[in-house]
Each structure stands twice: as structure tokens, then as C-alpha cells.
Structure 1
């Protein structure tokens, strides 16, 4: 009888772990209600809570915690694994938040001296790092390694990892060891430095005849390099590292008060060569924050370069220096936009003109000049039909700041873009059209056409634009959105704002009282 009970208990325990791994939260609840303990462990001593944490199953984690599982209980054969550390290592932020809410201590160390923050920083999980720091994790508590007798400061680990987002999170929370981190970041800024080092680290693990492959993954504002060794086509070992070291160097220099010369900052961006990456964006942002005549003059000089990428960098800088330099920046930006051929230069010059146009629209320019001439509207309109959706998206954003209410060509371009095949272009053009200082039949028709847009936020922006114009077609559309439980986040907030703009108080009250449908 005892053996039967033990076998049944083992089966129930195995079923619990299977349910956790499969993400079957209802089954987890049923098994716990049937008597399977929340602190159940498998044959290796791993707890169900730890299994759920490392498997990124936040539902199962919450169920187990509610049933009494201890968030602080160590797991594994040697009792060296903490659920919080397991979740942080995988970047499972929702699980981390659930464990913290249940009382897990942020700075508790597990085997080999790792804390949850050390794991998250070492893996470049910036969102998890931010969550831990926001809940009191010590930004300077050393983790293992680094050759230091007391371990390595998190900022140094983040600098080596090459994750600008992680470095930003640590800096926001006052992390120290900035000089050491700067020295570490500078070690990795040379081209191919990361790949060469990863190859060297993997070499001792490779056997005779093993193959080495390199993968590059676009993520987190840059590129992650993954180097793997394969035996008969199957992975044997792998290492990875991000490559945002130039951006990190720029961030740390600015945090230390180092005034890096324009040419050096620009050189980092050009070595990156991709305007959307952090290694490009951080030098640009640093010069924006500097906002001085020296930066303006250096960027103006680069506008005459033969290299389109240099001109794109100059345009990015000039677009964000602010109203004091708008008079100097606008003429060369118009010229750059008019003659731009490469996507990088088109995008940079269009965006810059849009930013300065918004300054004029907000009355921040002392001499805004004649609309459509000084603000660069004709030059931006030249690119409204560009085949690249990313360019059309930038045009739509720029036109939001450039198009006056009486400019027929500008409004016509926004109307056309609001029907674009690309979701993001439609969304931005619809937002701009909704906020345009004009009310015409063509605008209302274009907005009404977007009320059933498959992108919820686009439909909500269209409804807002019609509500502002007191068009009754907004009412039914808003009723559908507010009653739809799948309309959440920014789309729901936009719809709620649209309701407040309706002229009829009774209709406003009726719509405000709608609840999402249960599915």
C-alpha cells in the first residue's frame, strides 16, 4: 500500500513538472488542489518554482507562490540555485517581478557568488536589470570574476558585454566604477575585436574536426555576435557578446564629464555605418546635449562632404541642436534633402527638417520665415512616394510638424500616406492628419477610411481626428473599440482621449461607461 501511495505521489509530482514545462497553468492549479505540494522537487532536487522560473512561465510561478512555494528556497542537488537568479539569467522579467513581489531578495547570492543582477547584466538583459534595480538591487554589488579580489562591479561587466541599454540602466541608478568600465569598453571598440576574442575563448573547447560558425543577430540597438563550435553539424559550445562598445564609451565619457572631440564622436558613428544603431545614435545625442556653436560649425562643415554617410551624420546633428542654431541649419538641410539619393541621407535630412518644422510650429524659432520655404516642406514632399517604407514613415513623421492647415500639397501627401500599404506609415500619417490644423471633406473621408484599420492604434487616431472635428462617424467606431477587450495600451488611451473630445455630454458618459467584452 505504501509503495502504491509513493508511486502515485511520484506520478503526481511528475505530472506537476510536466504541466509547468508545458505552460499548462490550469493543470498546475488542479494538481496543487489535489494535494501535490507547492514545494515539490524532482529527482535532481530541482523545485517546481525554480523549474517555472527558468522556463519563463509567469503564470505557473504565480500559482506556485500563491500555493505557498517559498521564493527564497534554494534548488538543485547542492542547493545552489535560486529562482530569482534562474529567472534573471534568462531575462524573464515578468517572472522576476512576480518573485520580487513575493519577497525574493534582490541581492542574495547563489552558488559561485552570482546575484540576480550579476546574471542579468552578464547576459545583457536590460529590462530585467532595470526591474531589479527599481526594486532595490545594489548597482555596485560586485559579481564573481573580473580578477578583482572582491569581484567585478556590474558596470564593468556590462561594458564588456557590450549592451548600451544595460549600461544606461546602471547609470540611471548611480552605478560607480565608471573609469574602469570606460577602460573596458574602449578595449572592444576595434573592428572585429569581439569576434576574435570569442574565437579565442572557444578554441580550448573545440575538438579535432569541429567546425566554427559565426552568427550576427540584430537586437537591442546593435548586433550580437554568436560564435559556435559544431561537431557533425550539432552545437557543442557557444559564446556571445554584443557590440555596442562605441556607444558605451560615449555614454561613459559623457557621464564622467569627458568632452570628446566632434571628429572622434563622428568617427564612431561612421565605423558603425548604420544610423539606427546605438553606436551611431549616442554620438549624435551627445552633441545634441552639448548644443554649442562648435558642434554646429563642425556639422555644417560635414554637410559639404563627398560621403553621403558623413552628410547624414551632419543632418542628424543639425536637426537636434535646437532653436538657437535653426537659422544656420535650415538652408544646408534643405539642400541636402533636395539632392539626397541614399536612404541614410534622405532619412536623416527629412527627419531633421521635420524636427525644425515642429520648432517653428511651436513658435520656438525667432524667425520661422515663409512656410514651405524656410522649413523645407517642398524638399520633404519630394520623398513622399519613395519605394522604401522606412523613408515614407519618416516623411509622415516630418509632415506632422511641417504641414500648415492651408497647404494643399502637404495635406494631400498625408492623405495618400494614411492609406499606405505599410502599417507603420499609415499609423503615423493618420496621426498627423488627425492633428492637422484643417477641416476638409478630404481629411474627414481619409480619417473615416481608417476607422476599421487592422492596427488598433491607427483606428483610434482616426476616431480622435473625427471627434475633434465633431464628425458623428467617430461615435460608433469608439463604441466598438471601447467594448473590445483586445484594444489595449496606447490604442485604448487614444480612444478614451477621443471620447473626451466629443461634443455631446450624454454620448461621452455612455461611451466612458463601456466595459471590454469578455472573451
Structure 2
């Protein structure tokens, strides 16, 4: 008797293409919760990337390690995969099972870095509530508050401030984040994304532009088409002016009381002048994602490794916001 799956029963990976009942049957038939496929992808990682909270809980209850790395190089963490897709319920399940919120995967990325950079506000809130450190910098030393201001998600910035990203000692970071928010508040997001894509892939391609709500906030997505097929895409939130107002209040609170900045009621920033941010990027932290298969994958961030792709595994990807695109020739 071994712990290997019984070969004439559905494998755990077959079951993940079906439903939670199929996962239960596979586990009862002898499939190991720690199973991995021929490429080293673990069942838990696959379920996490594809937003299968029920399957994730079943695998964790059956003994899957929430921190076990996945992939050919053993570099992909389930928590990071879930954070990339904004799969908040999966994130909560992994954290409840003991996943370490600040564990870094290859290239130094942690779950909060992915979630903030992609504007996954609800996931950011769950990670912070689960113990993620808002002061822990990204792999290139980027502060989460500056990254959130660049991304343009007010809800993300509110969460970071509420958990101490504007605490005493962080005045320089608040100043840099405010400078970025003010600068980007005056930028046409659609044109900026198109400019960045054409800079990377050349002019002359048709583009599709759509504006969709993500976690209750507007996101602009631009896709370049080659022969009518999406070849690359980029996206960015549009809440930079609201973020500037939040950071102005946080800046004033920190300067006058020495207490952590507390986000207030969003409003129109009192100033729109541009200030230079110390160690801040000169461009929005928008994703520019090439597509090898002809369809955009989960958006990434500049100089970041590709985010997990859901194109070759069970379940709908859910990486890009839905909505009818608007053609722009």
C-alpha cells in the first residue's frame, strides 16, 4: 500500500478541472494533497491561481503545505499566485492555514508587492489584516505606499495608511508618494498606457481600450492588436487625484502631531503642482504584458517576472477586467 494516487481513479489534477466534489473523491481515492505535475506545479498552487477557495481549503485540510513553492524552479508561492489574481478568499484561506504573508518568492517579490502593484485592493486589505508588513519594501527597494500611489487605487492607499505606511519615520515616503500622485493626476491614463505600449512594441498597431470597475474603482486597460489578436496589454487605475488628497491629509497629520497619517474623506487635492519624488519612478507603475499565446496574461509590473498565467490550467482566468472593448485604430 502506498500514498500514490490509484491510477484508475481520477487524478488530483484531473479533479481540479472539475469541481470540489471531484477533489474530495480524488483525495479519498489516495491522491496526495502535496501532489505536483511533471512540471513541478503543485495542486495547491494551481487551485490558488485559479481562484478555487473550496479546493484550496480541501487540500490544506488534507495536509498541503501553504508555503511550499511550485514550478520547475520551485519559485512560485501559492499566496503570491492568489495575490496576483486578486483572489481574496483564497488569500484568506492560505493565511488562516499558516502561510507566511511576507515570504518572498524568486526575484524577491512577496504577496503584498504583487497585490499593491496590480491594484488588488481587497487582497491588499486581506494581506494586511493577515499580518503583511506595509513597510517592507519590494525587491528594488520600492516602498509600498509609493507603489500604491503610482498604481492609482485609492482603496489600496487607504489600507496601507490604516496599517501604518504613513507612520512616524515615514515622512519621506509619504512625500514621495504624494509627489507621484500629484504628477499622475494630471496625466491622461489612456494616452500614457498607449505611449508605453507603443514604445515597447512599436507604433502602427490597432488598440482596444476599455474602462472597467475593479474592486469598485475604475481601471483603464489598453491592448495592442496584431492581425486582430491581442498581442500586449497594460492597465492602470485612475484615482491619483483622490490619492493625492488622502496623502495630503496624512502628510499634515504626521507633520503636526507626529502620529501616523489617517486617511480622511476623499476630495479634490488643494494643489496640482508637480514635485520630484525621491527614488520614485518617472512613469506610472502600469503593467505592460506581452502575450505569447495571443491573449494577455495576468498583468505584471515593470521589471517584474511574469505573473502566473491561468491560460493552461482549470477554471476561468479572471486576470483582466471584463467589459466590451472600444476600438481605436
Give the TM-score, by structure 1 length: 0.46
Q: Structure 1 residue 223: deviation in Å?
A: 2.2
Compared CA separation, residues 218 and 71, structure 1 to 2 (3 A): closer
1:283 aligned residue? 267
**In the alignment, structure 1 residue 160 sits paired with structure 2 residue 160:** no
Supply the distance in 1 between the matched residues of 2:196 and 2:92 (Cα, whole angstroms): 34
1:196 aligned residue? 191
Supply the distance in 1 between the matched residues of 2:127 and 2:80 (Cα, whole angstroms): 11
Q: Residue 184 of structure 1: which of 180, 183, 189 is its match?
A: 180
2:163 aligned residue? 173
The answer as to whether partners of 1:39 and 1:48 remain within 8 angstroms in 2 is yes
2:66 aligned residue? 71
Supply the distance in 1 between the matched residues of 2:89 and 2:242 (Cα, whole angstroms): 28
Q: Structure 1 residue 18: deviation in Å?
A: 3.0
The answer as to whether partners of 1:228 and 1:238 remain within 8 angstroms in 2 is yes
Map of 1:308-347 to 2, 5 A cutoff? Answer: none
The answer as to whether partners of 1:21 and 1:51 remain within 8 angstroms in 2 is no
Supply the distance in 1 between the matched residues of 2:14 and 2:205 (Cα, whole angstroms): 35
Supply the distance in 2 between the matched residues of 1:244 and 1:158 (Cα, whole angstroms): 10
Identify, as 1 or 2, the structure richer in helix. Answer: 1
Supply the distance in 2 between the matched residues of 1:101 and 1:206 (Cα, whole angstroms): 42
Supply the distance in 1 between the matched residues of 2:66 and 2:112 (Cα, whole angstroms): 16
Identify, as 1 or 2, the structure richer in strand. Answer: 2
Give the TM-score, by structure 2 length: 0.71
Map of 1:398-409 to 2, 5 A cutoff? Answer: none
CA RMSD for the aligned pairs?
2.3
Q: Structure 1 residue 207: deviation in Å?
A: 5.8
Q: Structure 1 residue 252: deviation in Å?
A: 0.1
**More contact order relative to length (CA 8 Å, sep ≥ 6):** 2
Supply the distance in 1 between the matched residues of 2:24 and 2:32 (Cα, whole angstroms): 11
Map of 1:14-163 to 2, 5 A cutoff? Answer: 15-22=11-18, 24-145=19-140, 151-163=141-153
Deviations 1:395-440 (A, max 9, x none): xxxxxxxxxxxxxxxxxxxxxxxxxxxxxxxxxxxxxxxxxxxxxx
Structure 1: state its 5+ residue gaps.
1-5, 146-150, 259-280, 287-519
1:488 aligned residue? none
Q: Structure 1 residue 44: deviation in Å?
A: 1.6
The answer as to whether partners of 2:40 and 2:72 remain within 8 angstroms in 1 is yes
Supply the distance in 2 between the matched residues of 1:203 and 1:141 (Cα, whole angstroms): 33
Compared CA separation, residues 210 and 44, structure 1 to 2 (3 A): farther
Supply the distance in 1 between the matched residues of 2:96 and 2:269 (Cα, whole angstroms): 36
Number of residue-to-residue matches in the alignment? 250
Q: Structure 1 residue 27: deviation in Å?
A: 0.8
- SS of alignment partner, residue 33 of structure 2: coil
The answer as to whether partners of 2:116 and 2:124 remain within 8 angstroms in 1 is yes
Q: Structure 1 residue 41: deviation in Å?
A: 0.9
- SS of alignment partner, residue 236 of structure 2: strand
Q: Residue 254 of structure 1: which of 240, 249, 260 is its match?
A: 249
Q: Structure 1 residue 56: deviation in Å?
A: 0.3
Kindly name which structure, 1 or 2, has the bigger radius of gyration based on alpha carbons.
1
